Structure 1
Amino acid sequence: MSAKLSALLPDLAPWRSSSDFRLLWVQGIVTYFGSAMAMIALPLQIKELTGSPLAVGAMGAVELVPLVVFGLYGGALADAVDRRKVILWTEAGLGLLAVLLLLNSLFPEPMLWPLYVVAAGVSMLAGLQRPALDSLLSRIVPHEQQTAAAALNSLRWQVGSIAGPALGGLVVAYAGHASAYGVTVACFAVSVLMCRRLSPAPPAHDAEKPSLRGIAEGARYAWSRPVLLGTYVIDMAAMFFAFPNTIFPFLADELDADWSLGLMYAAGSVGSLVLGLTSGWTSKVRRHGLLVAGGAAGWGLAIAAAGWFGNVWLVLLCLAFAGAGDMLSGLGRATIWNQTIPEELRGRLAGIEVLSWSIGPQLGQVRAGAMAGWTGTRTAVWTGGVACVASVGLLCLALPKLLSYDSETDEDSLRRKAQQEATRREAAEAA
């Protein structure tokens, strides 16, 4: 029995083998906790100032353009400069934006437009930072430990995102928006100090400066690989149709359960956390494309059920199942990316990845807000879930190579493994 239990527990090999991974893991908890507090406070503040679901959903439209532009540029930047510096300076910028939210909330009558400006700024800096973070993982963690590293990273995110929304709802309700933003500022201050301790991650000696030509080269590579293309489009479709987070305040109202708002934001993370705590088996998976598609379809089914049920506890349970499906799909995507993409293109492809997992939710916020205003909140939720499942099925038919992907036979995976082993031998010889 103990052996079976041990096989389910998270694989800690990346934690043991890389000090930089350990540092990023702890830093990520701090950052996610602070960000999740702001994630609760910001849409609630817009709701209180406007009373409009469309105004809350418009956050997605405001964030979209900066995310697209700076996500692509951030990918090229990650291949051209020290990734540690990119992470450090963007983290500091995010902390300054949290200070602006705090100051605005202290006014007797907080203004609406700064909330949208900060949302756009956060999107810009996140677009610059995330490619550097994601591409760093393939450098500091061995090839065979990528699925375990992805599981541990997701577990880290869930810890922060569960505690953040759950406490954020209480803090906003009993202490106000300013207190929530104050916690966010403090978390980013701690995170910046931790980022300073990361090892340098310089680019290759022959790395080119960021350019449109370099970005286009990365896009051509992604387009030429059906497996990569499948990971992007399935995630974008799932999030576009079935990302109802922005209308949770209105769903809580409709269910006569205002107290449940923080739990709604946290429920998906609870499901992901449970899967993360039992993720040891995923390190033995070879068919990661099946994880991508199956997890996305499970997410859609659970979101559809959450919109259908009228009992708040059943809704929360469905949202937890949705979170587990989303994490399963995310593990498959992250493993395929880090096991197949060449090091010299990793930053630029990470920029495309930022778009794949971010554009969908941003547009999904707009879709959910507009649909809720037109058909009602619960209808907007369950129809989106059904559309998600249908779109995943159609995309799998169109991209069969994703479902047949095998990490032990795929040519790109074997090539990337050989490249990483050669890099480690050169580093050992130089030391």
Structure 2
Amino acid sequence: MSPRTFLIDTRPLRHATFRRTWIGNGVAGVGFQLTAVAVPVEMYAITDSSVWVGLIGIAGLVPLLIFALLGGAVADAVDRRKVLLASSLVTWVVTLALFIQAVLGLDSPVLLLCLVAVQAIGFALTFPVRQAIVPRIVPVEDVAAAQTITFTTSNGAMVLGPLLAALIIGKDHFAAAYAVDAALFTVSLWASLRLPALPPEHTGAAPVTVGLRAVTDGLRYLATTPIIALSFAVDLVAMVFAMPRALFPEMADERFGAGSVGWLFSAIALGAVAGGLVSGWIGRVRRQGLALVGAVVVWGLAIAAAGVAHQLWLAVLFLAVAGMGDLVSGVYRQTIMAVHAPDEMRGRLQGVFTAVVAGGPRLGDLRAGLSAALVGPSLAWAGGGVAAAVIVVVLALAFPVLPRYDGRPPAAHAEPAVEAEVQTVA
């Protein structure tokens, strides 16, 4: 077997529209991660409390849940290019506001929470659209590879961003981090402007209208599609119970020493990038449901091991292994949804997915912060990882449709049954 078999599949980059979008998202992602590190570090510097850092997660959760569902419905009813441009501008303006409060030295934890909440609105509207357009700008046979490239690049930004943040922030230079984020985000705006018109596609169904009914239709579809619903549930468990990032500032301060916070924030993504570079095998796995379960178990146990490590290099190593598991999990979850969902449902399902993917870690931040206040950061970190692995195994045993999933679209699953009926009649 050729070594190229294991290298990342770059065929989607042959498509110019996808390539521009990939560049814009990748560059902007570095800036976004700068802010993602600067905000909790600034909050800890102001309050000296992991509980306040945990509250950052909950501040963004409610608007994220509401606007992710609404944003998904909008993405199915309106030209997705227009939605992407409008929501991106919201995110950019919030970054400028973060820059201004840092320059003025306001040192207000409440203001930080409010800005995070507005930022979550922009993210909740943007993310479903970004994901929903992928099957429109690459052929269906390249969707899994496109998701792998996108996920690997976003994790690359999660490596570069935190390490760059550690250099830029230094002694409370938060304004510089926010300024770089705002500058880098202009590349994403350029890529969005270059997108073609992406009006809704309706395969024989009535046009989607924006409103509560559109949202409930999406949720109803999700409830009747167990494999997609279970993939969401698995990710939610992994993030709520095992995401330790709210503990990084405290653990860096008390255990690992100055300069370690950047490594902690980037380690998971570093592992995901390493996994992505040798991800050529991912698209050839037939038992994708079982692979998804295994990946999340690896995530949980590696997170637990990192929580009890007392050397920075060892904690980073285990977090990187967790990141590899997260890459595999993320690619299969996105691919399952892209393959199963019709175009007129993709926006709304991506809205729910956004609520899960971004809301789960925010709940995880709250859980980690509160748990650390009760049992200490080390036990809160390691115990959550073990709990996530156990719960996912229980879910897989209780709902075997997930581990049995073989990566085929719904129509393909129906073919054997139809063939059997023909043979019976004959």
Q: What interval of TM-score do these two structures reach, taking the shorter chain for normalisation?
A: over 0.9
Q: Which residue does the alignment assign to 1:209?
A: 209
Offset from partner CA, 1:248-267 (integer Å, 9 cap, x none): 01111221422111011111
| Cα offset, 1:228, TM superposition | 0.7
Q: Does 1:93 align with 2:90?
A: yes
Q: 1:176 to 1:226 in 2, by over 3 A?
A: same
The farther-off stretch of 84-93 and 61-70 is 84-93
Alignment of 1:15-414 (within 5 A): 15-16=13-14, 18-174=15-171, 176-204=173-201, 206-408=206-408, 410-411=410-411
Tell me how far apart the structure 2 counterparts of residues 224 and 305 of structure 1 sit (CA, whole Å). Answer: 37
How far the C-alpha of 1:403 sits from its partner, in A, is 1.0
Q: Secondary structure of the residue that 1:202 maps to in structure 2? A: coil
Provide, for residues 115-153 of structure 1, a one-character-per-residue CA deviation record: whole Å limited to 9, x for no partner. Answer: 111100111111111111111112222222221111100
Q: Residues 131 and 283 of structure 1: is their aligned pair in 2 closer, same or farther, counting only changes over 3 Å?
A: same
Letter in 2 for 1:84: R
Whole-angstrom CA distance in 2 between matches of 1:182 and 1:166 = 16
Whole-Å Cα distance in 1 between the matches of residues 171 and 48 of structure 2? 20
Amino acid at match of 1:346: R
**1:256–1:336: structure 2 CA closer, same or farther, 3 Å change rule?**
closer
The answer on whether the counterparts of 1:92 and 1:188 sit within 8 Å (CA) in structure 2 is no
Distance 2:5 2:389 in 1: 31
Question: How many pairs align?
Answer: 412
1:202 to 1:410, Cα distance in 2 relative to 1, 3 A: closer
Residues in 1 aligned to 2:233 and 2:220: alpha-carbon distance in whole angstroms: 15
Q: CA RMSD in A?
A: 1.6
Distance 1:116 1:407, change over 3 A: same
Residue pair 2:339, 2:409 contacting (<8 A) in 1 also = no
| Counterpart contact for 2:59–2:117, Cα < 8 Å | yes
Q: 1:395 to 1:359 in 2, by over 3 A?
A: same
2:129 corresponds to which letter in structure 1? A
Q: 1:23 Cα deviation (Å)?
A: 1.0
Conserved? CA contact 2:201–2:343, under 8 Å: no
C-alpha distance in 1 between matches for 2:230 and 2:162: 31
C-alpha distance in 2 between matches for 1:159 and 1:408 = 29
AA aligned to 1:169 is: A
In structure 2, do the counterparts of structure 1 residues 412 and 37 end up closer, same or farther at CA, with 3 Å as the change threshold? farther
Query: Which whole-Å CA distance do the structure 1 matches of 2:172 and 2:44 have between them?
Result: 17
How far does residue 207 in structure 1 lie from its aligned partner after superposition? 2.0
Q: Is the Cα–Cα contact under 8 Å of residues 227 and 399 in structure 1 kept in the other structure?
A: no
Deviation of the 1:410 alpha carbon: 4.1
Give distance in 2, aligned partners of 1:258 and 1:341.
47
The answer (yes or no) to whether the contact 1:271–1:324 under 8 Å persists in 2 is yes
Native 8 Å contact 1:288 1:333 kept in 2? no
- Tell me by how many angstroms 1:216 deviates: 1.0
The question of whether the paired residues in 1 share the 8 Å contact of 2:87 and 2:122 is answered with yes
Of the structure 1 ranges 250-259 and 73-82, higher mean CA displacement relative to structure 2 is found in 250-259
Q: Secondary structure at the residue paired with 1:258?
A: coil
The answer to whether the 8 A contact 1:76-1:347 is kept is yes
8 Å Cα contact 1:94-1:188 kept in structure 2: no
Tell whether the 8 Å contact from 1:291 to 1:331 is kept in structure 2 after alignment. Answer: no
Q: How much does 1:161 deviate?
A: 1.4
Over the matched positions of the two proteins, sequence identity in percent amounts to: 36
Give the Cα–Cα distance (whole angstroms) in 2 for the partners of residues 59 and 38 of structure 1.
Answer: 13
TM-fit CA distance, 1:86: 1.0
**Partner-residue secondary structure (3-state), 2:196:** coil
Q: Alpha carbons of 1:165 and 1:413: their partners in 2 closer, same or farther (altered >3 Å)?
A: farther
8 Å Cα contact 2:42-2:172 kept in structure 1: no
Aligned-residue offset at 1:319: 0.5
* 2:422 aligned residue: none
TM-score by length of 2: 0.94
> Counterparts of 1:286 and 1:324 in 2: how far apart (Å)?
19
Alignment check: 8 A CA contact 1:78 1:348 kept: yes
* Equivalent pair of 1:302/1:321 in contact (CA under 8 Å): yes
Q: CA deviation at 1:5?
A: 1.5
* Equivalent in the alignment of 1:13: 11
Distance 2:409 2:96 in 1: 50
Please list the CA deviations of residues 295-343 of structure 1 after superposition, one character each: whole Å capped at 9, or x if unmatched.
1111000010011221221111011001111111001101101111011
> TM-score with structure 1 length normalisation?
0.92
Residues 168 and 262, structure 1, Cα contact 8 Å, conserved in 2: yes
Partners of 1:183 and 1:175 in 2: how far apart? 15
What residue ranges of structure 1 are gaps of 5+ in the alignment? 416-431
- Asked if the contact 1:408–1:414 (Cα under 8 Å) also holds between the matched residues in 2, the reply is no
